[in-house]
Chain A
Amino acid sequence: MGTQRPDFTEFYRGSKDECLFTVLLSVGDIDTAQDLVAEAFARAWASWRTVSGHPAPAAWVVRTALNANISRWRRRRREVPIPDPAAIADRASADGAGGPVDPRIMVALLRLPARQRQVVALRLFLDLDTGRTAAALGIAPGTVQAHLGRAIAALRADLAPERQQEAPS
């Protein structure tokens, strides 16, 4: 098996859920996201010598998965899936192993424009810095910060009031 497998296995186990969630936010369907991420990880394994030297291997996986999804989306002639937060929450609960899914947060995330969602995913879920996020998305660092700022403002507008109402006075 050589020296690749332990490293890749460790990488897979340590980043698979974050990658899946990141892709899920873009594609809106768990089964599709699972397929895309599994395929992207398989490609990462096949090119592990290169990918393991990437500054952000998880971002490589996500980018590969999303690029594949765009091709598939276009091949389906712009049939845009409509994310269903409730279905995602139900399915995640059924699968068990993860933490609790908050449907309100899922709804708020899925309401964001696609680019803001991508920035949130890379910056907050994959922990990429602004420069790497910009490089991954092919946009300027300033644009990343602008998108993140708008996304946080939108999330705050969606989530903060409910949370404040829940808090004991």
Chain B
Amino acid sequence: MTDEELITMVREQRTSVPMTTPVDQIISRGRAVRTRRRIPGIAGALAGAAALALAVAALLPAGHQAGRQPPIQLDAWTVVKHADGTIVVTVRQLRDPAGLERTLRADGVPASVTFFGHEPRACHNYPLDPALMHRVFGGHGPPLVIHPSALPSGTGVQLNPGHYPRGGPIALAAGLVRASPRCTGS
């Protein structure tokens, strides 16, 4: 069998599983996506401001490191370190992942942050352990709560904020990785 024959044989499979969603349904959903995109300019800003005000009122950083900008001045994302060591991360805009990464590391969390679903090439996943994940990340966000004290030695967190498929708000996805200088900074 030549390469061409092999490729042809494999290619034949590409229409073997039909996409059954009618185009009208796709377009109807597309209209909803487009409408949602037009609204956020004003409504999103108001909602964001309200959410930020609530977050600041509820989560003012009792143990936050001195010299850091107060959360109210960070418009894309907020990192708040509590007196008990927990860290609360809120992401409102997908901007400045490196800044978020630096902030988390400064707060003692070995962290890697990427946006838009890009996987960090230098990171290696830590074996899946739902119980450990629950201890480190607590309940379901938003905002995301990190318990650094629950991180096993040699592990770090990998955050990947992005838009959920349904065109909804930003979801702050999180996972555990093996800590390393190239991945999590330490």
Contact = CB atoms under 8 A, between A and B. Distances in A.
Nearest to B15: A17
B68 interface: no
B165 A72 contact: yes
B6 A159 contact: yes
Among B15, B19, B32, find the residue whose CB has the most chain A CB atoms closer than 10 A: B19
A109 to B, nearest CB: 7
- Interface size class on chain B is 35 or more
Contacts of B3: 152, 156
A92 to B, nearest CB: 4
Main SS of the interface on chain A? helix
A52 B50 CA distance: 37
A154 to B, nearest CB: 11
B19 A69 contact: no
Interface residues of A, number: 69
Contact of A101 (B16, B32, B175): B16
Interface string B103-121: 0000000000000111100
B160 interface: yes
B66 interface: no
B167 A21 contact: no
Contacts of A163: 1, 9
Contacts of B182: none
A100 B14 CA distance: 10
B163 A71 contact: yes
B39 interface: no
Nearest to B30: A45
A9 B18 contact: no
Interface string A78-102: 1110000000100110011111111
Interface of A: 5, 8-9, 12-13, 16-22, 24, 30, 34-48, 65-75, 77-80, 88, 91-92, 95-102, 105-106, 109, 120, 124-125, 138, 152, 155-156, 159-160, 163-164
